[in-house]
Amino acid sequence: MSTGDRLTETTFAQRAHEQLGKSFLRTAVPKATDHAFSALQSRFAGHDYEALRELGRQIRAEAVANLDAHLAVLEERLTANGVTVHHARDAAEARRIIAGIVKGADARKVVKVKSMATEEIALNPALEADGVEVVETDLGEYIVQLDGDRPSHVIAPIIHKTRGEVRQTLSRVAGRELPNDAAELTGFARGALRDAFMTADVGISGANFGIADSGTVCLLTNEGNGRMCTSLPRIHVSLMGIERVLPRTEDLAVMLPLLAGAGTGQLITTYVNLLSGPRRPGEPDGPEQMHVVMLDNGRRALLGTPYQDVLHCIRCGACQNVCPVYRQVGGHAYGWVYGGPIGAVLTPLFRGLGAGGELPQASTLCGACDDVCPVKIPLHDLLHGLRADRADAGLAPRRERIAAQLWSLAWSHPLLYRVSARVGWLGTAALSRLPARLVARTPAGGWAASREIPRVARYRAGSGEPR
Ligand code: SF4
């Protein structure tokens, strides 16, 4: 029976094949990601980006290395500020806690700020099953929700959609044909969302950072919806991955420019919200209650493992923008919440090697993600490690294991090495002369469908090297 879990019900190859058939995606994703990468380069031109990245790495490494100590301070300060702190070991517990807060408030409508953590715990279907109306208020997430779709990029959820598709979706909601004009379309969405802000009982957000020394949730948005969701409804709930803690308020001086610059090339995100508790007596606005739900869901288990560094991630999306695989197949091919290099690392770690173990194969290991990551996560090493773990667990397909064993055998003996080099040279020379329709029937057909087959250099006896 289908569970609706694309990760376990389909393979990466099937999902990628489906996405590669979408001509708009093949053009739009590289264009948008090129634009984002150029914006990053312009943003930091003339600045010592390497020094800033190193500072970012140190701050995140310190936060994660002493995670429990910083979380304890954060909880103490949040509580002192009047915030109710909850702990969720996994997605089910997080859903239960948030559903309980919503039910306890007798809430019928919830407005949400874009949050990958709430995607990770599949919060919306759980609240909707309780009869609660959930409205995503980031424009991209709103479109995704109306379409029953999923975001395909960490910070640009509808990178895969055309303006025409957005127009059709909003026209359906409007009950009339809207013009194909960005200002008109956003104007319509703004009106619809404004009603939701004014009538919602609960606002739910993620947390870009939880700042320990002041007991503050930092929330970054470019559309102002974060401020509406966290100040207009009676109750604000923030779902924070436990790794998002920062020790000190001054750490924002490094993390804000890094996150905004690496993600969108901005100097700083348009709205920087520092939320330090519910409305106090005499204050004109703000929620009556503020809750922070600290989400583990597999994070603590990574501490002390070779994968601890992935917890430094600030979800900027820069690694997706430069990944040659993501740029072709988009985010949906990865089958779960996170796509691109960060998704190929997080998914097998959070969902297990059985479900997500093939994703680290979806990489050329070119290292572009390492070079761009604003907090210097060694994604390429982590992908390598996960490939090895999968092989050690006996989860690699039989064909792949046999090929690796044969390769290892051949290159462990001089004679077999020379023979394999000659076979490679002859084989690729022969393939390069075959018509494409015949190449398609060979084992190299999948590769040759979208790329040229490289020619193996000819081995010269006595040289010791192929050349
Ligand atoms: S791994 Fe690095 S580049 Fe990728 S989303 Fe996280 S912080 Fe950004």
- CA-based nearest residue to 160, from 171, 144, 146, 145: 144
Q: How confident is the model at residue 123 (pLDDT cuts 50, 70, 90)?
A: very high
Residue 315 Cα: closest atom of ligand 1: 5
Mean pLDDT of 218-247: 97
In the predicted structure, residue 467 carries a pLDDT above the cut 50? no
Distance from residue 82's CA to the centre of ligand 1 (Å): 32
Task: Tell me, using a 6 A CB cutoff, whether residue 375 lines ligand 1.
Answer: yes
Task: Tell me, using a 6 A CB cutoff, whether residue 348 lines ligand 1.
Answer: no
- Total Cβ atoms within 10 A of residue 373: 27
d(CA 415, CA 293): 62
- CA distance to 44, 47, 55, 129, 376, per residue, from 51 (Å): 11, 9, 6, 48, 11
**Helix (H) and strand (E) counts in the chain:** 23, 10
Long-range Cβ pairs for the range 399-406 (8 Å, 24+) = none
Give the bridge partners for 333, in sequence order. Answer: none
**CB 195, CB 137: distance < 8 Å:** no
Residue 318 Cα: closest atom of ligand 1: 3
Closest residue CA from atom 7 of ligand 1: 313
Closest residue CA from atom 4 of ligand 1: 319
Each residue's pLDDT tens digit, 385-405: 999 999 999 998 888 889 888
- CA-based nearest residue to 83, from 256, 211, 228: 211
List the Cα angle 90/357/393 in 5-degree steps.
100
Each residue's pLDDT tens digit, 126-181: 999 999 999 999 999 999 999 999 999 999 999 988 888 899 999 999 999 999 99
Looking at residue 464, its pLDDT comes to: 52
d(CA 151, CA 122): 13
Closest residue CA from atom 2 of ligand 1: 373
Residue 312 Cα: closest atom of ligand 1: 7
Ligand 1 pocket: which of 220, 309, 310, 319 to mutate (most atoms <8 Å of CB)?
319
Task: Tell me, using a 6 A CB cutoff, whether residue 346 lines ligand 1.
Answer: no
Task: Tell me, using a 6 A CB cutoff, whether residue 158 lines ligand 1.
Answer: no
Contacts of 35 (CB under 8 A, 6+ apart): none
Give the bridge partners for 273, in sequence order. Answer: 219
In the predicted structure, residue 121 carries a pLDDT above the cut 80? yes
**E strand residue ranges, 89-154:** 109-112, 133-136
Which one-letter DSSP state was computed for residue 466? B
Burial of residue 441 (number of CB atoms within 10 Å: 0-12, 13-18, 19+): exposed
DSSP codes of every residue in 439-459: HTTSTTHHHHTTSPPPPPPPB
Residue that wins the pLDDT comparison between 145 and 452: 145
| Percent over 90 (pLDDT), the chain | 81
Each residue's pLDDT tens digit, 237-262: 999 999 999 999 999 999 999 999 99
Residue 341 Cα: closest atom of ligand 1: 4
d(CA 147, CA 164): 13
Q: How confident is the model at residue 449 (pLDDT cuts 50, 70, 90)?
A: confident
- Bridge pairing between strands 271-275 and 216-221: antiparallel
In the predicted structure, residue 232 carries a pLDDT above the cut 50? yes
Mean pLDDT of 72-89: 98
Task: Tell me, using a 6 A CB cutoff, whether residue 318 lines ligand 1.
Answer: yes
Closest residue CA from atom 8 of ligand 1: 316
Burial of residue 211 (number of CB atoms within 10 Å: 0-12, 13-18, 19+): buried
pTM of the model: 0.90
**CB 149, CB 140: distance < 8 Å:** no
Residue 345 Cα: closest atom of ligand 1: 1
Task: Tell me, using a 6 A CB cutoff, whether residue 374 lines ligand 1.
Answer: yes
d(CA 171, CA 185): 9
Residue 317 Cα: closest atom of ligand 1: 5
Distance from residue 263's CA to the centre of ligand 1 (Å): 9
Looking at residue 455, its pLDDT comes to: 86
**CB 232, CB 197: distance < 8 Å:** yes
**CB 127, CB 99: distance < 8 Å:** yes
Ligand 1 pocket: which of 307, 323, 334, 375 to mutate (most atoms <8 Å of CB)?
375
Distance from residue 110's CA to the centre of ligand 1 (Å): 29
Alpha helix positions (H), 352-413: 353-356, 368-372, 379-392, 398-410
d(CA 216, CA 255): 15
DSSP three-state, residue 217: strand
Residue 263 Cα: closest atom of ligand 1: 8
**CB 4, CB 321: distance < 8 Å:** no
Looking at residue 416, its pLDDT comes to: 92
Each residue's pLDDT tens digit, 291-308: 999 999 999 999 999 999
Residue 320 Cα: closest atom of ligand 1: 4
d(CA 67, CA 243): 7
d(CA 218, CA 207): 6
List the Cα angle 60/118/165 in 5-degree steps.
110
Task: Tell me, using a 6 A CB cutoff, whether residue 342 lines ligand 1.
Answer: yes
Distance from residue 226's CA to the centre of ligand 1 (Å): 22
Contacts of 286 (CB under 8 A, 6+ apart): 231, 278, 279, 280
What residue ranges define each of the domains in the chain, with the CATH number in brackets?
Answer: 1-47+317-396 (no CATH), 62-295 (3.40.50.10420), 402-448 (no CATH)
- Total Cβ atoms within 10 A of residue 291: 21
- Total Cβ atoms within 10 A of residue 201: 17
